[in-house]
A and B are shown apart, each in its own frame.
Chain A
């Protein structure tokens, strides 16, 4: 092997190493970047009337935020709603989106955010309801929620 060949060979080795290294780093990025959402504590309340609400908590353990932009289910019209106080009146409105920052967790709970199930019909205690949560980045996430009675705010 001439000196020239050795140089070319060494350059090839270095280039390969660089490419492999870059691939490893890129690979690491693609698995670790982005939102990583976990939904817990899902609960659909036994509807006393035509409508009811689903409550849950969503935690984002990823390194990017995400935004809940809609909800869907087959048993009713689903909308993301929030209750809020205005001029002494308890109000409710559809929300455009709910941001969940990286490392953050957001509670959908009575008196605040909820997925409203409109025109839900008859449900039974213990029944499982399937709801799709639609996220800006994570796409559609299917969750199930047991039907539970209204009632305790805790304590």
Chain B
């Protein structure tokens, strides 16, 4: 009898331990629960990153200043990318067509992680295939790394040296509301309906 009771107490203790472990695991989860957003909501909003790069006209582009007060969608990619980058951009263009109010008050900023092949002209013609208002930025290797660090994404990595090398890069679009804060990110696989749900909500978050 004693040993049976001991066994059931042990089992209970094990369950409690497990529950405690799960509880602490949930606390480490960087993503908030019960989100009103379809995108991935950050538990702690992120400040809009501060970096300066060069746009496709060759002009200096101060990311914070140039996107001030705008709903801003920031993405790091490269134009030789056939699968992930074009899908994100085509989706954003399609969503902007459905939401003209959002389109008027939003900026899409595409930062290349492949400055050797993505010349300003190459960037411009590639972005124009989606939307002429999308902004393309490039810079020195060091400036591009600094921009990625500021944005808190993993740093892109060139994979090999052949002419058709690929570049590993962050796959998520970072969104910043007009108030200058990032509340959500959008991993690859985000659907148009999810963008349509979130962008009007984010547009309302202003400092006014």
Contacts and interface: CB of A to CB of B under 8 A. Distances in A.
Contact of A89 (B81, B93, B154): B154
Interface string A81-92: 101011111111
A90 B90 CA distance: 18
Give the size category of B's interface with A. 35 or more
A117 interface: yes
Contacts of B188: 83, 90, 110-111
B130 A110 contact: no
Interface range, A side: 35 or more
B90 A150 contact: yes
Interface of B: 79-84, 86-87, 89-91, 93-94, 122, 125-126, 129-130, 153-154, 156-157, 159, 164, 166, 168-171, 188-194
Contacts of B191: 153-155
Given A48-B79, A48-B126, A53-B82, A88 B170 contact: yes
Contact of A49 (B79, B94, B170): B79
Interface string A112-125: 00101111000000
Contact of A92 (B79, B129, B166): B166
Contacts of A87: 154, 168
B169 A90 contact: yes
Contacts of B83: 53, 81, 83, 92, 110-111, 114, 116
Given A49-B125, A50-B79, A150-B89, 13 more contacts: A49-B80, A88-B154, A89-B157, A90-B170, A92-B166, A92-B168, A111-B87, A111-B189, A151-B93, A151-B94, A152-B91, A152-B192, A153-B87
26 contacts: A46-B129, A49-B86, A53-B83, A77-B164, A81-B83, A88-B170, A89-B154, A89-B156, A89-B157, A89-B168, A89-B169, A91-B168, A110-B188, A111-B188, A114-B83, A117-B82, A149-B90, A150-B89, A150-B90, A151-B90, A151-B93, A152-B91, A153-B87, A153-B191, A155-B192, A155-B193
